[in-house]
Structure 1
Amino acid sequence: MTAPVALVTGGASGIGAEVVTALTRRGYTVGCLDRNPAPNVEHTVAVDISDADAVAAGVAELRDRLGPISAVVNSAGHYEMVPVADITAAAWRTMLRVHLGGLLNIARACLPDLLANRGTLVAVASELAVGGGDGDAHYAAAKGAVLGLVRSLAAEVADRGVRINAVAPGPTDTPLLAADNPCRAPEYLNLLPLRRLTTPREVARCVEYLVCDATFSTGEVLNVNAGAVI
């Protein structure tokens, strides 16, 4: 029997890399779209997720290599902390292109396969989409828009057997969170009910659950945030 195919964006590191490991363990053949090399993934295409044409070409290449796609995880992301007054027009556009535009690009490119296979898509959002954050306005706005797209797309395709969900991690111990980020400081961690950062593996386990086991869920957001938002 041919293994089902999953596509993970941002699979070269952090949460995406752990998702690749988790879905491979569950029997998927995994392909990856990432701007950076993904040594953990045999089938990788270098793609900027914000470029719709490049995403469509990358998805087509992976489909040709691996076969029809039945699961998609959009984990590619970009993060920076900037006060509202200092957010440039270029920074605002970049944040929206990467997060909201990237999800739209990957959904459009993969939707024909997902509809044909009654597949599933999981978007990696953020607890900042729910709770906001000091210095995170453009990131939180982009991730909030991601949740709106997830819920709307879920409603659009549910009657055709396709499930669309999201995870919303809190501060997670990945390279995206710089060493001097305030979320790593003991003063912040002591405010969290669990007193620690979330790990990429924990987020990946939640993604795995939504992909493989939560056949009853669509349009949902699974919060993985050490109690940052309750």
Structure 2
Amino acid sequence: MSDRPVALVTGGASGIGGAVVEALARRGFDVGCLDLNPTDAGNHAVAVDVSDPLAVVAGVSEIRDRLGPIGAVVTSAGYYEMAPVAEISPDAWRRMLRVHLGGLVNVARATLPDLVERRGALVAVASELAVGGGDEDAHYAAAKGAILGFVRSLAAEVAGQGVRVNCVAPGPTDTPLLAADSPWRADDYLSTLPLRRLATPREVARCVEYLVCDATFSVGEVVNVNSGAVI
């Protein structure tokens, strides 16, 4: 263990989570990662399915044992799929909620004692679709929308204990999560955005970094990082 502050990032092996790991490391954190496939997530990575509460507790304990008490948490583990409402199976609905909302809840519960002790910060990654919805995005938008309600409620609950809970809601971001033929990459969609382009993982990570490190008066906020799709 070192004297450096410790951060925990879920989904830190790639995409937005990977960019967050790099951003927080540059700010002086020792960063641990929970990821379903942590091969490229660095030395302090543990293979964990965030939808499994017992696995999350074990993974958080392992990171704590390696690095020390956790003072910052970023939950970015997730996945994306599109389907019309009539074609979304009950299992698909449940899995989407288990991974996105359940993953956040599991990680928050496992790390709150540390965050209270360190007067730390938790940042959840939601989505522009949590705010505006989207065609054939109902189960994803519903799960991400539930994150907004949880963040605001948890923020109110723990702010008095010195813990800051906030959220970023990215629009479509240039990560492997979006297939090459995704409609979010199409010119007819990009032309509707004020910035006319996708966000980059590093841009989203810089907003997360700000909420973790610098936004000392922000509680229950949702920062929309979406090229102007939601203003």
Equivalent position amino acid for 1:151 in 2: R
Aligned to 1:96, the other structure's residue is in SS state helix
Partner of 1:94: helix, strand, or coil? helix
Tell me the equivalent position of 2:125. 124
Residue 22 of structure 2 corresponds to 21
Tell me the distance in 1 between the aligned counterparts of 2:160 and 2:130.
27
Q: What per-residue deviation string (whole Å, max 9, x for no partner) do you get for residues 23-53 of structure 1?
A: 0000000000001124242100000010000
Pairwise CA distance, 1:179: 1.2
Q: CA deviation at 1:103?
A: 0.2
In the alignment, the residues of structure 1 paired with residue 131 and residue 162 of structure 2 have an alpha-carbon distance, to the nearest angstrom, of 27
Partner amino acid, structure 1, of 2:127: S
Instruction: Tell whether the 8 Å contact from 1:12 to 1:39 is kept in structure 2 after alignment.
Output: yes
Conserved 8 A contact 2:129-2:141: yes
Give the Å deviation of 1:178. 1.1
Asked if 1:148 is matched to 2:149, the reply is yes
Structure 1 gaps of 5+ residues are none
Cα distance in 2, alignment partners of residues 221 and 74 from structure 1: 14
State the match for 2:83 in structure 1.
82
Total equivalences in the alignment? 230
Residue 77 of structure 2 aligns to a residue in which SS? coil
Describe the superposition over 1:41-88 as per-residue Cα deviations: whole angstroms up to 9, x where unpaired.
210000001000000000001101100000000000011000111010
TM-score (norm 1): 0.99
Aligned partner of 1:195 in structure 2 is 196
Q: Percent identity?
A: 76
Q: CA separation in 2, counterparts of 1:47 and 1:167?
A: 23
TM-score, normalised relative to structure 2: 0.98
2:213 partner letter? C
CA distance in 1: counterparts of 2:187 and 2:39, whole angstroms = 32
Superposition pairs of residues 98-109 of structure 1, within 5 angstroms = 98-109=99-110
- Tell me which residue corresponds to 2:113: 112
Equivalence for 1:31: 32
Q: Does 1:177 align with 2:178?
A: yes
Partner of 1:55: 56
In the other structure, the counterpart of 1:2 is 3
What is the CA–CA distance in structure 2 between the aligned matches of 1:60 and 1:100, rounded to whole Å?
Answer: 21
Q: Which amino acid aligns with 1:215?
A: T
Q: Is 2:71–2:115's contact at 8 Å kept on the other side of the alignment?
A: yes
What is the DSSP-based 3-state SS (H/G/I as helix, E as strand, rest coil) of the residue aligned with 1:33?
A: strand
Give, in whole Å, the separation in 2 of the partners of 1:10 and 1:154.
22
C-alpha distance in 2, partners of 1:46/1:217?
32
Q: Which ranges in structure 2 are unaligned for 5 or more consecutive residues? A: none
Q: Deviations over 1:86-116 (max 9, x none)?
A: 0100000000000000000000000000011
